[in-house]
Structure 1
Amino acid sequence: MSSSVVYRVAGIHSKQPWFVMSAAEYFSLFASDDPMISHYYSFEADHTHGMTMAIPDGCVDIVFDCDPSAPNAVVCGTAVEATSARFIHKHRYFGVRYAPGLVPDFVKASAAEMIDQKLNFLDAVPGAHSLFEQIVSEQDFARQVTLLKEFVAKRSTRKQSAVTSLAVRTILQHKGNLQMRDLEEVTGFTSRTVQRQFQDDLGLSPKAFSRMIRGQSAVYEINHSRHNKVAFSELACDLGFSDQSHFLREFKKLVNATPLDYQNLVKQQTYLDRIRCC
């Protein structure tokens, strides 16, 4: 894999690595130039690689099952713990992942109603039948990306308070390693105000969102480490965990594997080589 491809993949922090590792062959990825969108992706599911898990990432996904006999689509709110992702063996999927902390405004559900939920796309997005039919009948990944980009370009993400926007940016910049007092200092508001605004806008507390981003940061470091082994004690310290045991417990809850087991699986399946950037 060329260094330029590694750079493009490494620039995307909102990862669902179990999706990549459960792909039949390649996991096709298209990095977005739209700040609202993290990336688009496509893959064929292969259950012989084991159960596919969704890990918390603070993102909203729209996923299309493009199987000709039974196509469907769902809007997925972020999980709060590692949870099973039900992909059907040999079905081809196309999806879009919004940037962490952003919620599309065309989904007819509150942010809180989307947490840990999968909503039927046609029920949650009125007037999207034509888009659905075009995407599930299209075999070309690049064309699917174009269709969804055209749909999204006419819409926006849900407006959120300036307090929440600043808090989200700060949490992302610090890889989730923040305390409420840090957000108070950055925003100039009390923790009560920050938490209320954040909950109203994202359906999550700042602490829960920070926990997701810190977990994603740990996954990112393991995925893109240039060394065969990551020093978990150093990683735990860098991300602000109280000790290595705390890091191990949190990682297991968020990723459904210990850091060592996850690292070994990523290296065994050559994670980065499975990703094909388009």
Structure 2
Amino acid sequence: MTAPLDRAEFEAIEVTRGDFVRVRLNRPEVRNAIDQRMVDELHAVCAEVERDPRVVVISGSPPAVGADGRERKGVFASGADIRQLRERRRDDALAGINSGIFERINALPMPVIAALDGYCLGGGAELAYAADLRIGTPDVRIGNPEPGLGILAAAGASWRLKELIGEARALEILLAGRVVDGETALAWGLITRLVPSAELEAAAAEMAAAICAQDPLAIKLTKEVFRAPREAHPLADRLAQATLFESPAKFERMSAFLERKSTR
């Protein structure tokens, strides 16, 4: 069972704790535009998960019927809050407000899953790129239109995106303003799974549960080794494996596997 945090604790996000931590961006009136409040609240969640490592699932607003009776599509995040962004100056850029939180999310000890639907643009896309795994819907629209606003995608897209989909495709998004749909994102490897909007939350929870079923220390060290620079290998792999070879979980899990095999 999961228990929502006190609503008074957060305003721009909703957080639910359980076997994994679910973070829902919650500014639907502005299509979940990322403002300073949301950044601060995401930092608070990161601090908690750093103290008590768990898998994190980040999602946006699900499809809903508005007060006017019209159906509204889901949305991950339409980008940074332009009203705040317009007022930022040189010192704000140097402070790395958004890049700092996205880097912290990327560095969390356990995997982060981004569940993407609807608009996933600008800072919203960069938040998705910072996750370890991404799943999406056919309605997702991913892109970085920052140059059209006189700025660049400086919160990770300029280097994470080419690592994810290659230089040529990344440049088409970053320079030509291409916005890709779910089918294209899947074909390019930007997301790993495509599901209907109504199934997105369940698919993200299923992925999180699959990770949670593994040994936590093995998952944590696998993520560390995977993120290590090329020159750190193979030493990083050997050191991590040496730690795991001495862990109680290794003996318990391997003994259980052998016992199951012997009874077949």
Please give the TM-score of this superposition, normalised by the length of structure 2: 0.23
> Which one has a bigger Cα radius of gyration?
2
Which protein has greater RCO, CA pairs closer than 8 Å, 6+ apart? Answer: 1
Please give the TM-score of this superposition, normalised by the length of structure 1: 0.23
Q: Which has the higher helix share?
A: 2
